[in-house]
Structure 1
Amino acid sequence: MFLHKRLFALGLVAALAATAACSGSGGGGRSRDTLVVYTGQAGDYQLNFNPYAPTQIEGPGTIYEPLFFFNIAADAPPKPLLGTEFTWNADGTELAVTLRDGVTWSDGEKFTAEDVKFTFDLVAKTPAINKTGFKGTTTVVDDTHVTVKFSEPSYMDGPQVLGQLWILPEHIWKNYPAPATEVNDEPVGTGPFRLGDFKAQSFTLRANPGYWGGEPALKQVRYLSLSGNQAGVDALKAGSIDWQTAPIPDVANIEKNYPGYRSITLPLNQVSLFTCSNAQLGCQGAQTDPAVRKAIYFGMNRTQINSLAFQNLNTEMSPGFTLQPRDANLLSARLTDRMAPMNPDTAKADRLLTSAGYAKGADGVYAKDGKPLALTVKVVAGWTDYITALETLSQQLLRIGIKITPQQLSWNEWADARGRGQFELLIDSVEQGPAPDPYYTYSYFFSTATTAPVGQAANPNFARFSNPVVDAALAALKRTDRGNPARQPHYDAIQAELEEHMPYIPVLTGGVPNEYNAKAFTGWPGEDDLYAFPAVWKRPDASQVYLRLKPAGS
């Protein structure tokens, strides 16, 4: 499962030596109020704290705050941050927000409603940073009140606008002509942390002494770049990192194998093969054929992939992309497969390809018009679970006449290719939104409004999927408040289209494993207190964890 151990070890020696010398949380000469985290970053960090850039390395929640925190891990009211309360009008077309008074930006300037209006207007007029499809018109009432008007009922915009738009300081960002590509190397925010030192292999966030909620007990967070998941395992063994969200061997026995550490695993993201699916938007390759995508879907042995790559921590996944078991009551009866098959159906894959005009060559690989059915799938170097999954899948798909070749890239190269559509296949996870409702996943990853032609940055409909039935259903869901039974037919329509076209090929629902230093820090999320979703790369949840952590004994 774990590859390139020699390279990992070489990269790890220098990284851990630096960590032990300058940061940490308990022992080895490290400061007890510094948390060392590993997000999975492999390769050098590129300095960019633009919270709206697809290549940003940190900032949402820690430096730049939303108005409220919506916790998808527990059914709880939204937590006030820069906003203190909000109300909808009777028909869901106007959102009134009260803002927190007495907040200052980290450069000392006062935070006001003008900053909120500036941010909302900037997002609304800049498609490349408008991940939520926000189209509201924002009006300043006074320094602590704004209203957002919509042209139609927009209840479902609430958690996105209030919880997923990172408020920017107008006095700085008004000077940036291209906000989507702005390299924000000196971030100024309202959040609990500020940028400390930055190096290619690590950077530090320092507690903001002027934070409106009080200076955090956690004085520093140091982010490390290592060479991959195996390096993270070695760092845990050395006690040199305090929190990572990544697989480790024999995680069930973590307290025995890694004294002082504990773990928690929760389902969240949906592991998929992303396909550049839309030839009309410039995608090229056999994966633009739905028959090929569905053949890959039926050619997978998900049971084997789960065992070899994910320690059987992952679970079944629906081709309709509802998160199970959370959304069990929304699972559509119109689906042919309510859950993706855990074992392959090679006969069905063969029928799909032959019906689409493919013929198997002497080498056992299908071809059409003289072109073998061979595809490249991009993966981040060091993501050993995904790499193992792809190596396993490549062997599985050869049995149905499809050749896939994994290509390992740095995270920066991979993220750029993903955003610009310069890939045939890549492995990634489809994220959930700011509230426990599949509407947000659909509106992010399957809406025409959130994609772009190949060569331009899509955010985040990376598959370039565009479907009028899905778009119409999303528009209807947006107009209907949560809990209304009239929503189900629209969920049904979306799920049927996703299964039919499969721009993202379902693999498994990812069980998100976290390992954390319970000996050195207290306040971690647990099954009995899921105050945020525990994942070091989950934003803004990670910032909520940082705010709750305290050095043990303090």
Structure 2
Amino acid sequence: MATLVASALLSGQAAYAASCATVANSQGLKTVFPQQLELSSLEKQTGSELMFKENPMFAADVKAGKLPPVDQRLPEEPLVILPYEECGQYGGTIKGMSIAYESGTSEVLAWRQVQLVRMSDDLQTIKPMIAKSWQWNEDFTEITFTLRKGLKWSDGDDFTAEDVAFWMNDIVNNKQLHKNTPNPWSVGVAATVINDEKVRFNFDKPYPAMLTYLTGFGSYYTAFAPAHFFKPMHPKYNKNADKEAKAAGYDNWVARFDAYWDKWMDSPMASPIGVELPTMEAHIMDTAPTTERRTFRANPYYFAVDSSGQQLPYIDKVLERFIDKKLFPLEIMNGNVDQKSQSMDLAAYPTLKENEKKGNYEVRLPPGDFGPTIIFNQTHKDPVLREIYSDLRFRKAMSLAMDRDEINELLYLGLGQPWQASPVGVEWQEDWYDEYFTDFDTDQANALLDEMGLKMGPDGVRLRPDGKPLRILWEYTLQYTKNEKFPVMVADMWKAVGVDVILKEITTQLLREKSTANNLDINMDWAAGGEVFRPSIASNFSYWMPPYSDFSPQTGVPWRDWLVTEGKEGSEPPAWAKRQWEIGQKMPTLMPGSDQWINLGKEGTELLVKNLVVIGTVGGVPLPNTVHNRMGNVPKWKVNTWAFGYSHPSRPDQWFIKQ
């Protein structure tokens, strides 16, 4: 073993690559966590000191004194990664595409994103990332993270436990920044700095699934922030913060802070602000973004190396272009995209498959996608529409009026099946959840609408109780409809039972603004109801409680306001929604898999399904994933979904471009 690793210390990239321990050939190395180990463990097993290698793109800056040498940029305890097939080659630009800012950008973010911990590609094992280790107390009300010694932000400043505590205590728990504490931290939590490498979280209630949250939903929301960058903007640390914010053109310090920090880590990257922000990500913003693209370059202070000592990432640059979704297949077939799955349309699969050789890519079909969901706004500002949408008979009728078999055949190649929104992979799953009111039955749909008193007008459009035509304004984004034909098909089906629909495509960013302001008839965001997997349920049941997402509320914003203010604001929710709220508060405090957790999960699921809060369409839909043949170390992942951060468990920081 020592001989093998010693040979990896020879100068020259070819020597490193030739003797690098990989997942395919571990060379006898033993790991505690899959596909990675600590530097001390590597050196103990090999009996040799690992020498670090510089990415050539940084050589000129190092020589000019603009950057320290690589061994001074890496932490004292870097994470050592075993690449899948081979130690990669430095260089190149990985090419990606998204719809627009705040629209389908999660995938390219997954190439860069970093968290305290990471989900392994087995989708079961949680392993270290920025945090070197962690320790729970007996009742899961306290967790202590040990960070890697010597971590640095992308600007070279030290990353310490203070950056974690500042994020929790001064951002998440700040009532001026957040009227309602962002989920899942509403369980009540405070952070304490023990020393530079140790930080402790104390919870008001047990939160045993916290690590699961950080590797699923929470992988997109970093559990730290650069304190040295943000403290000058914060009045706790700068008494002139408000005055300085106004001088900079903001209304107050909160507006300025919000421009630079967002729970969704990609939001500040939609403006030139992203160039200023220090980050721990594998790639950092290179230049100010435009409406057409944004670019990132390798982070010179990234904290991981491969098993031959090469600092990661291998890939020099990331190019993300913003393109009309309808043009995705053409761009892939022309060889202009290196990896793409988010927002992909299954209907394009036959064409993509036929053109694999021409485009020099492989198209894969991993499971994990769902057809669009439909959520009627039961807290609509129009009192008449609010009454209609809140009537369960209406939601049943709209579900029955959809021909899911036709949708499946025309849009999903017949590969899915009719599906009512319900969770995936849970212990309490019952067949009737997926089948509830999924039959195509226009007679029953008409009977329910008649029973509601929605009389049919002479033009075939039903009338509201106030005598106006019943028309739904369906503002949608292709990120959520997934296929531009979907809303048209459903609108025609609903018109057949007398419910008129006006369709309007809008941007995802505008849709989220409208959902937050409670200004939509229908919402379709990805986070609600049945589009969640067991790990996500275990860690953050709030996606099943009003308003079914704090990032992009679905329905029930006034209900949420009423609940958190104990009736002082908002409007009182119905009994079933109150009970869902109670369950959502309790679930994360229980041990996943326990009897109480299963019983509450079953109750919450049945409340969601029986009340058709989220109306499902087609389930079990594969999500096409294309990978260009020039890409190395890109494995086939088991599930392809935003719930696991798309490619994040498959470690894009060790992908490389073949020369």
TM-score (norm 2): 0.68
Q: Distance in 1 between matches of 2:437 and 2:351?
A: 30
> What amino acid is the match of 2:291?
A
Q: Distance in 1 between matches of 2:480 and 2:590?
A: 40
Q: Distance in 1 between matches of 2:647 and 2:318?
A: 15
Q: Distance in 1 between matches of 2:534 and 2:471?
A: 39
Secondary structure of the corresponding residue to residue 361 of structure 1:
coil
Counterpart of 1:19 in structure 2 is none
> What amino acid is the match of 1:142?
N
Distance 1:250 1:233, change over 3 A: closer
Distance 1:129 1:190, change over 3 A: farther
Paired residue for 2:654, among 525, 548, 554?
548
Where is the helix percentage greater, Structure 1 or Structure 2? 2
Secondary structure of the corresponding residue to residue 143 of structure 2:
strand
Where is the strand percentage greater, Structure 1 or Structure 2? 1
The offset of 1:255, in angstroms, is: 4.4
Paired residue for 1:438, among 537, 542, 545?
537
Distance 1:194 1:282, change over 3 A: farther
The offset of 1:79, in angstroms, is: 2.4
The answer to whether the 8 A contact 1:203-1:222 is kept is: yes
1:415 aligns to 2:512 (yes or no): yes
Distance 1:508 1:429, change over 3 A: farther
Q: Distance in 2 between matches of 1:195 and 1:435?
A: 34
The offset of 1:306, in angstroms, is: 1.8
Counterpart of 1:190 in structure 2 is 280
Counterpart of 2:206 in structure 1 is 153
Distance 1:339 1:101, change over 3 A: farther
Q: Distance in 1 between matches of 2:538 and 2:658?
A: 40
The answer to whether the 8 A contact 2:92-2:315 is kept is: yes
The answer to whether the 8 A contact 2:399-2:438 is kept is: no
The offset of 1:500, in angstroms, is: 3.1
Counterpart of 2:556 in structure 1 is 464
Distance 1:181 1:480, change over 3 A: same
> What amino acid is the match of 1:261?
Y
Counterpart of 2:401 in structure 1 is 299
Q: Distance in 1 between matches of 2:540 and 2:194?
A: 32
Q: Distance in 2 between matches of 1:446 and 1:434?
A: 16
The answer to whether the 8 A contact 1:525-1:534 is kept is: no
Counterpart of 1:172 in structure 2 is 229
Distance 1:440 1:291, change over 3 A: farther
The answer to whether the 8 A contact 2:540-2:588 is kept is: no
- 1:208-233 residue CA offsets vs partner (Å, 9 max, x unmatched): 122011331111111111122x2111
Instruction: Map residues 106-121 of structure 1 onto 2, 5 A cutoff.
Output: 106-121=154-169
> What amino acid is the match of 1:130?
P
Q: Distance in 2 between matches of 1:59 and 1:248?
A: 20
Q: Which runs of 5+ in 2 are unaligned?
A: 1-89, 235-252, 261-267, 305-310, 560-576
- 1:126-149 residue CA offsets vs partner (Å, 9 max, x unmatched): 256714244211111111111111
Paired residue for 1:33, among 92, 95, 107?
92
Q: Distance in 1 between matches of 2:361 and 2:104?
A: 31
The offset of 1:188, in angstroms, is: 1.2
The offset of 1:69, in angstroms, is: 1.3
Distance 1:346 1:284, change over 3 A: closer
Q: Distance in 2 between matches of 1:382 and 1:473?
A: 30
Secondary structure of the corresponding residue to residue 377 of structure 1:
strand
The answer to whether the 8 A contact 2:213-2:540 is kept is: no
Counterpart of 2:71 in structure 1 is none
Paired residue for 1:68, among 117, 127, 142?
117
State percent identity of aligned pairs.
Answer: 17
TM-score (norm 1): 0.80
1:137 aligns to 2:190 (yes or no): yes
Distance 1:201 1:294, change over 3 A: same
Counterpart of 2:345 in structure 1 is 247
> Is the deviation greater in 394-403 or in 376-385?
376-385
Distance 1:162 1:272, change over 3 A: closer
The offset of 1:322, in angstroms, is: 0.9
The answer to whether the 8 A contact 2:346-2:624 is kept is: no
The offset of 1:256, in angstroms, is: 3.4
Q: Distance in 1 between matches of 2:601 and 2:384?
A: 27
The answer to whether the 8 A contact 1:512-1:535 is kept is: no
> Is the deviation greater in 121-130 or in 489-498?
121-130
Q: Distance in 2 between matches of 1:59 and 1:521?
A: 15
When the two chains are superposed, the root-mean-square deviation of aligned CA atoms in Å is 3.3
Secondary structure of the corresponding residue to residue 517 of structure 1:
strand
> What amino acid is the match of 2:537?
P
Distance 1:159 1:172, change over 3 A: same
The offset of 1:408, in angstroms, is: 0.7
Secondary structure of the corresponding residue to residue 495 of structure 1:
helix
> Is the deviation greater in 55-64 or in 423-432?
55-64
- 1:270-309 residue CA offsets vs partner (Å, 9 max, x unmatched): 6211332224899955434433222211211111112222
1:200 aligns to 2:291 (yes or no): yes
> Is the deviation greater in 203-212 or in 488-497?
488-497
Distance 1:503 1:224, change over 3 A: same
Q: Distance in 1 between matches of 2:411 and 2:634?
A: 27
> What amino acid is the match of 1:238?
N
Secondary structure of the corresponding residue to residue 168 of structure 1:
coil
Paired residue for 1:489, among 568, 578, 599?
599
The offset of 1:539, in angstroms, is: 3.8
Q: Which runs of 5+ in 1 are unaligned?
A: 1-30, 47-53, 452-457
The answer to whether the 8 A contact 1:322-1:330 is kept is: no
The answer to whether the 8 A contact 1:297-1:505 is kept is: yes
Instruction: Map residues 273-352 of structure 1 onto 2, 5 A cutoff.
Output: 273-279=374-380, 285=386, 286-319=388-421, 321-323=422-424, 326-327=425-426, 329-332=427-430, 337-352=433-448
Counterpart of 1:101 in structure 2 is 149
1:261 aligns to 2:366 (yes or no): no
Q: Distance in 1 between matches of 2:532 and 2:539?
A: 5
The answer to whether the 8 A contact 1:115-1:170 is kept is: yes
Counterpart of 2:503 in structure 1 is 406
Question: Which structure has the larger Rg over C-alpha atoms?
Answer: 2
Q: How many residue pairs end up in the alignment?
A: 494
The offset of 1:235, in angstroms, is: 0.7
> What amino acid is the match of 1:300?
M
The answer to whether the 8 A contact 1:298-1:349 is kept is: yes
